Amino acid sequence: MKRRDFSALLASAPLAGAAGSALAQGGPVEGRHYQVINPALPTTPGKIEVVEFFWYGCPHCFAFEPVLEEWAKKLPADVVYRKAHVAFRANVKIHQRMFYALEALGKEAVTRQAIFNALHLQGQTLDDAKSQAKFLSPLGVDPAKYQDAYNSFGVATKCTQAEKLSEAFRIDGVPTLGIGGRFLTSPSMAGGGQRMAEQELGQKALQIADFLIQRARNKA
């Protein structure tokens, strides 16, 4: 989902893109299936970081989540995977703060699917801390501790860091994968200009991610 589309979100809108002939015939093509970050961003020596930039409320992030998480379980030891929640507009910033509050409490991973389901299948908005705390309580998140984390300096700092990272990678849409501080790809980029099911687009994006991880490894 592009930044410019956030003000006109239509959760049922299809995501354009599919594997183009260039991907099928000759591998991923720079400028079409992925982008190069120039200059490259600083990285941890000996590690290749993969960052998924996402938003809980993005329907394409919701569709990408199952294939992405299965892929992440099989990453080699030198690859570090994490999520970064974007903050493209006011209500997205509220969801961003929810993400980092839950992360601070060690509850993000175990509540993530329920949050996605609430937003995309149940019609909830979760666009203020009170409604979030009420929703999260049956999932094992103490409301008082959640409110404290949500309003904490540490979570505010994490949000600021995520926004700076998003700017450094020049993120203008989600879901997007930043790889090794050097590359960007996404389901929409992986498409190569055609249309197909989102699950297949996600799989194509992860094939490209594997290719880019190897490139990053070779440059290390």
Among residues 139, 154, 170, the one where a domain terminates is 170
State the residue range of the domain holding 189: 15-86+171-220
> Which carries the bigger pLDDT value, residue 38 or residue 18?
38
Answer yes or no: is 140 within a domain: yes
Are 102 and 195 in the same domain?
no
Structure confidence by residue, pLDDT tens digits, 167-207: 999 999 999 999 999 999 999 999 887 788 999 999 999 99
Are 219 and 149 in the same domain?
no
Are 96 and 158 in the same domain?
yes
Helices of type H across the chain: 21-26, 59-72, 90-104, 108-120, 129-136, 143-150, 153-168, 187-190, 198-219
Provide, for the chain, the percentages of residues in helix, strand and coil under a 3-state DSSP scheme, each rounded to the nearest 5: 50, 15, 35
Per-residue pLDDT band at 75 (split at 50, 70, 90):
very high
Are 192 and 143 in the same domain?
no
Residue 154: per-residue pLDDT: 98
CATH number at 105 reads: 3.40.30.10
Residue 2: per-residue pLDDT: 63
In contact, 86 and 92? CB cutoff 8 Å? yes
Answer yes or no: is 8 within a domain: no
Answer yes or no: is 2 within a domain: no
Sign of CA dihedral 19, 22, 26, 30: negative
Answer yes or no: is 7 within a domain: no
Are 197 and 164 in the same domain?
no
Are 56 and 94 in the same domain?
no
Residue 1: per-residue pLDDT: 62
Structure confidence by residue, pLDDT tens digits, 113-162: 999 999 999 999 999 999 999 999 999 999 999 999 999 999 999 999 99
Please give the tally of structural domains in the chain. Answer: 2
Per-residue pLDDT band at 7 (split at 50, 70, 90):
very low
Among residues 134, 154, 170, the one where a domain terminates is 170
Are 49 and 154 in the same domain?
no
Answer yes or no: is 211 within a domain: yes
